[in-house]
């Protein structure tokens, strides 16, 4: 007979979980493993609310196992370290992102690309090395292998910095991999949400010219005045879109809903690259002619490796890049999820776990 979530492991943990496909979260008592030799135990202070949390809770990708404790933008303080842990000490401020394990021996792990390891373990809704399910950061504490914990730089605030652990690395990694760091090049960013707004800031720090492409005209002022974008294109304004044809070296597409790629491809110059980061639950339609005639490409990217995640955090600390957040209490999460589904947030909810999650 399978052990109950509370009895599986020795350490008692309290968090909030979705119990079924409604995705509604509620208090949940469970347990975590004892702190092993390689492990770091973390008291969680803040956890960002990523759109993936919403997709998972509501089983929109069809792979949810309930009860499901989401949360993979975790910031906290170290409470315990295993005997082999040299990189962290008790009291350090640290972060945990989207992964908590990988095989450590494949060609990807060896190149610091744990995120492409076929056996990488996700922070929640995944199976850990001991065969038990992983639970995420909507909880009071977490135990993580030291290789999947990052130092949180002094200059970064815990609440506004938490979203960097998924949103930040998710846009930083493709900018490096696909060569978008040459100052003066023109980057289009589709979607001004959690990923998009951080992408604007990181892109500006790389010296790029940035155009935000959005279906919401009301976001223009924010994009230009607060985030520092150079231009703003309303994606359903045919005239403006036409005027921007063939002007961009790259496009980062952060939109997770199904949408048309053809108009975006036309914005690219020849040899331009469209990198898609969203994970809609239906395929996107990709016309081939523009790819061939203009040697354009469409590529994907999935978070980043651990080394690159640390590099990204240090880069953001150096350039004062944080997310724009709305801090909420744990018991406000369901309302926040409904608002997130309607994109009604500027631009990330972050749960103040430390202050608001209490034993009932």
Give the interface with other proteins as residue ranges (CB under 8 A): 108, 116, 118, 177, 246, 261-262, 269-271, 276-280, 283-302
- Give the bridge partners for 28, in sequence order: 15
Least distance (Å) from other proteins to the CB of residue 313?
Answer: 21
Least distance (Å) from other proteins to the CB of residue 264?
Answer: 13
Least distance (Å) from other proteins to the CB of residue 122?
Answer: 11
Cα(4)–Cα(2) distance, integer angstroms? 6
Length of the chain: 360
- Give 118 or 239: the residue with its C-beta nearer to other proteins: 118
Least distance (Å) from other proteins to the CB of residue 208?
Answer: 17
Confirm if 197 and 169 have CB atoms less than 8 A apart.
no
- Give 7 or 270: the residue with its C-beta nearer to other proteins: 270
Confirm if 77 and 91 have CB atoms less than 8 A apart.
yes
Least distance (Å) from other proteins to the CB of residue 160?
Answer: 26
Cα(220)–Cα(214) distance, integer angstroms? 9
Confirm if 150 and 95 have CB atoms less than 8 A apart.
yes
- Give 7 or 260: the residue with its C-beta nearer to other proteins: 260
- Give 82 or 294: the residue with its C-beta nearer to other proteins: 294
Q: Which DSSP category does 239 fall into?
A: H
- Give 143 or 265: the residue with its C-beta nearer to other proteins: 265
Confirm if 32 and 142 have CB atoms less than 8 A apart.
yes
Confirm if 170 and 278 have CB atoms less than 8 A apart.
no
CA 147 and chain centroid, separation: 18
Least distance (Å) from other proteins to the CB of residue 298?
Answer: 5
- Give 90 or 245: the residue with its C-beta nearer to other proteins: 245
């Amino acid at each position: 007979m399978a052990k109950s979530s509370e009895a599986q492991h020795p350490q008692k943990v309290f968090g909030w979980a979705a119990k079924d496909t409604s995705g509604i979260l509620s208090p949940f008592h469970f347990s975590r493993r004892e702190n092993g030799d390689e492990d770091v135990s973390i008291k969680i202070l803040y956890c960002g609310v990523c759109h993936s949390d919403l997709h998972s809770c509501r089983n929109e990708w069809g792979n949810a196992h309930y009860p499901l404790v989401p949360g993979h933008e975790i910031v906290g303080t170290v409470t315990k370290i295993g005997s082999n842990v040299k990189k962290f000490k008790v009291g350090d401020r640290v972060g945990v992102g989207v992964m908590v394990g990988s095989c450590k021996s494949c060609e990807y792990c060896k190149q610091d690309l744990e995120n492409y390891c076929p056996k990488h373990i996700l922070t929640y809704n995944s199976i850990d090395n001991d065969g038990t399910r992983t639970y995420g950061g909507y909880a009071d504490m977490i135990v993580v292998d030291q290789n999947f914990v990052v130092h949180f730089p002094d200059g970064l605030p815990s609440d506004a910095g938490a979203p960097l652990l998924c949103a930040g690395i998710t846009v930083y990694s493709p900018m490096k991999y696909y060569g978008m760091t040459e100052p003066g090049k023109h980057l289009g960013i589709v979607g001004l949400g959690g990923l998009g707004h951080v992408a604007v800031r990181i892109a500006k720090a790389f010296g790029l010219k940035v155009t935000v492409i959005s279906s919401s005209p009301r976001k223009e002022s924010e994009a230009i005045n607060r985030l520092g974008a150079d231009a703003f294109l309303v994606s359903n304004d045919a005239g403006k879109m036409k005027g921007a044809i063939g002007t961009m070296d790259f496009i980062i597409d952060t939109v997770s809903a199904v949408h048309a790629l053809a108009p975006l491809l036309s914005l690219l110059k020849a040899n331009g690259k469209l990198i898609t980061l969203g994970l809609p639950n239906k395929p996107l339609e990709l016309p081939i002619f523009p790819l061939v005639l203009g040697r354009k490409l469409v590529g994907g990217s999935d978070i980043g490796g651990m080394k690159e995640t640390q590099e990204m955090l240090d880069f953001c600390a150096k350039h004062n890049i944080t997310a724009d957040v709305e801090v909420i209490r744990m018991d406000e999460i369901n309302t926040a999820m409904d608002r997130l589904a309607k994109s009604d947030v500027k631009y990330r909810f972050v749960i103040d776990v430390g202050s608001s999650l209490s034993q009932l």
